[in-house]
Amino acid sequence: MGHPAILTVDDDPSVSRAIARDLRRRYGDQYRILRASSATDALDALKELKLRGGRVAVMLADYRMPQINGIEFLEQAMDLFPNARRALLTAYADTDAAISAINVVDVDHYLLKPWDPPEEKLYPVIDALLDAWQATGDREIEDIRVVGHRWSEPSYQIRDFLARNLVPYKWYGADEAEGRRLLEAAGVGPESIPLVVTADGRALARPSSTEVAEAAGLSTAPERDFYDLIIVGGGPAGLGAAVYGASEGLKTLMVERQAVGGQAGQSSRIENYLGFPDGISGAQLTDRARRQAGKFEAEVLNTREVTGLRADGSARTLTFADGGEVSAHSIVLATGVAYRPLVADGIAEFTGSGVYYGSASTEGPSCAGSDVYIVGGANSAGQAALFFSRYARSVTLLVRGDSLEASMSYYLIQQLAQVDNIKVRTRCEVIGAQGNGHLQAITICDSKEGMSTTVECGYLFVFIGAEPRTDWLGTAVARDEKGFVYTGPDLLTNGSRPKGWDRDRDPFYLECSVPGIFAAGDVRANSVKRVASAVGEGAMAVTLVHRYLEAQ
């Protein structure tokens, strides 16, 4: 098939020549550089490439073109080469359109014209796009197929698991023609729902998360018994530790029980993370971080629940729920936090069938024309409100406090105020949920008005604080009354080191009450609950791991 292609399309001849020149200079020995002067010519070239069995790695399209603009071109080009990476060439005045394309049309990046010097403004972007393309190539990806019920919690759990792990899948309702055909072909009935059909045709009836992970090609078993560093938790802190640990030569394993990315991975948009002035979705950030960790050969273990931790001499050993074990010289605890359950009549009954914890982005399109309610007043709730406002008829934020200012970033409050179909109600709580088979209404207590009302509601998303996932630690390391892990200076009482401490030094800043065990991110007592600080602590933990290992 020859070299894969990088295609550029721009109706301005001088710009077209300039970008083709710069691309040939850097990539001409490994890629065919193709350029077109119109979207129509570019589509014709792509169709010819497709017929000849060619491959396209990256497509760059000018936003302002006659007849078919850059966004429309990329939408059509995706049908021919869905795995090619896509970027818009824009002028400064068109950045809003470019950002919209990233959010809505799945454009990977945009480049401002002019891009001089290319070494700083063009090549780093193209390098990242090519790295992403090389991770999948241009082969056809056979989607996993899932058959289930719209309002079934087990069906939702599988869809959510696949989506959060960035595994492509196709969803079919059990009452749809294709859903019925798949059930019949598998020789099973409704009692076997949810049904997962793998790319190679295997049918899995009511599978566990581990079975789904294995079917999706995710690793579920460690490759070795002993590592330099094991990270428990795959959120921003865990990913930060994995990237820095593996890049510095440590044999690194990251263990995640549900989905890499943690709560941050569910965010529809993170706009205050350094280096992304136009924002980035949690899924995009997670995907990039996971690929970066893989580039440095960090091992990622999926759907494994850690149930115990102990010190075995100089080794630190983790126990899994299935009885398995794995050991390392050092451990980083990065398990983050979980959303606190909403305690109200009927809520537990409808969890997964109208009541959801976190953003649950898989439910976005299903919310079309519905009235969505979101419980919570922090950034995650605000980001979810903006996301669901694209689909829902109305979105109502129910805030327990007097205002959003105490818990939400100013920029996010301003954005919410500009969206017509978002409403904020303060001093309100959900005290009940009703429905027949799925959520249909909620009862809201308004303390300002001193009254309760019941309103129609098909979707309720809950973001009410967080609890650390540390019960499994028991007494292995010191924790506060809420379960957050004490580290560093917090372990010293009147200058005295923690009980059982056997080193002739104070605990390092992120070190727990057992030497060689560290905590990073939201799970740590008195941490700053921000994505950037979690990533920073993950990186810092690796530096301290090195100091610990050097002293061994």
In this structure, what are the phi and psi dihedrals at residue 465, rounded to the nearest 5 degrees?
75, -175
Could you give the angle at the alpha carbon of 534 between the alpha carbons of 109 and 292, nearest 5°? 45
Give 92's pLDDT tier (boundaries 50, 70, 90): low
Provide the token pair at 124: 């780093």
pLDDT digits (tens, 9 = 90+) for 55-66: 899 999 888 887
pLDDT of 169 higher than 90:
no
The dihedral built from the CA positions of residue 313, 318, 320 and 321, taken in this order, carries a sign that is: positive
CA 267 – CA 283 distance, rounded (Å): 7
Provide the token pair at 93: 């005045």
pLDDT digits (tens, 9 = 90+) for 212-238: 999 988 999 999 999 999 999 999 999
Q: What is the DSSP letter of 247?
A: H
Strands 226-232 and 325-333: parallel
CA 233 – CA 210 distance, rounded (Å): 16
Provide the token pair at 191: 């009692």
H or E element in which residue 99 lies: helix 95-104
Strands 5-9 and 315-320: unpaired
Are the CB atoms for 304 and 492 separated by under 8 Å?
A: no
Q: What is the pLDDT of residue 466?
A: 79
SS3 41: helix
DSSP letters spanning 388-416: HTTTSSEEEEEESSS-STTTS-HHHHHHH
pLDDT digits (tens, 9 = 90+) for 352-371: 999 998 877 778 888 888 99
pLDDT digits (tens, 9 = 90+) for 296-325: 999 999 999 999 999 999 999 999 999 999
**Comparing C-alpha atoms, which of 184, 199, 213 is closest to residue 144?**
199
Percentage of the residues of the chain whose pLDDT score is greater than 90: 59
pLDDT of 345 higher than 80:
yes
CA 50 – CA 83 distance, rounded (Å): 13
Instruction: Please give the single-letter amino acid code of residue 299.
Output: E
Query: Up-side HSE of residue 416: CA atoms within 13 Å toward CB?
Result: 27
CA 224 – CA 50 distance, rounded (Å): 42
pLDDT of 94 higher than 60:
no
CA 525 – CA 303 distance, rounded (Å): 26
**Comparing C-alpha atoms, which of 528, 550, 546 is closest to residue 537?**
528
For residues 446 and 77, which has the higher predicted lDDT (pLDDT)? 446
Q: What is the pLDDT of residue 461?
A: 95
Provide the token pair at 127: 């390098």
pLDDT of 138 higher than 60:
no
Percentage of the residues of the chain whose pLDDT score is greater than 70: 96
DSSP letters spanning 321-336: TTS-EEEEEEEEE---
SS3 539: helix
Strands (E), 132-181: 144-148, 169-173
CA distances from 431 to 382, 426, 444, 459 (A): 21, 15, 6, 15
